[in-house]
Amino acid sequence: MDNVIVVGRLGAVYGIKGWLKVNSFTEDPESIFGYTPWFIQQKGLWREVRLNSWKRHNNGLICKLDGVDSREDAQALTGFDIAVQSEILPELPQGEFYWRDLIGCTVVTTKGYQLGTVTELMETGSNDVLVVKANANDAFGMKERLIPFIDEQVITNINLPARLIEVDWDPGF
């Protein structure tokens, strides 16, 4: 399946009846339970798992999956990524992007210097950061650049169809 997006991870076992902690990667952590069905990857193949129940517990979230009825059953699933089909995610308003849409985009400065390709994004306290792998022949000898995702100030244009992000950034940084 090519169209799956990882939205969380199954954490440690909770209790003896097959409950698992859930680490949600969604902006609103509880919204992960609205995106179903879930898929986990086992032995290189995506397998559907059905959510039976979920609840808040302390500062976290726990879930019960169909057919997972013991601590041992749950233990076999700890650490697995939770994925959903990308088409069930909501459409975003104009000017907003899913991180997955930005990965692989080419980053160029407003003066036309090609900085490299977005490999990942990081969340920091103040703003998100583009991690840009520099081109092999980078004139400044850079291997990677960290560029703050600050709309209009640093990020001047995003053209998703062209897979291009234009930034107001000094290539020496």
Q: Which of 88, 121, 143 is the last residue of a domain?
A: 88
Give SS3 for 169: coil
pLDDT of residue 131: 95
pLDDT at 80 over 70: yes
The per-residue pLDDT for 1 is 66
For residues 81 and 103, state if they share a domain: no
pLDDT tens, residue by residue, 133-167: 999 888 888 999 999 999 999 999 999 999 999 99
The two three-digit tokens of residue 1, written as one number: 């399946």
- Judge if 32 and 80 occupy the same domain: yes
Q: What is the pLDDT of residues 1-46, one digit of tens each?
A: 678 888 999 999 999 999 999 999 888 999 999 999 999 988 888 9
72, pLDDT greater than 70: yes
The whole-number pLDDT of residue 98 equals 85
We report the CATH number of the domain holding residue 162 as: 2.30.30.240
Range of the domain at 113: 99-167
pLDDT at 125 over 90: no
Could you tell me if residue 130 is inside a domain? yes
Q: Which residue has the higher pLDDT, 98 or 133?
A: 133
Q: How many domains does the chain fold into?
A: 2
Q: Are residues 82 and 103 in the same domain?
A: no
**Closest to 96 (Cα-Cα) out of 9, 27, 42:** 27
148 within domain boundaries: yes
Beta-carbon-side half-sphere exposure of residue 151 (alpha carbons within 13 Å): 4
Residue 116 gets the label, from left (phi > 0), alpha (psi -120 to 50) or beta, of left
Give the residue from 88, 113, 144 where a domain finishes: 88
Mean pLDDT value across residues 48-60: 94
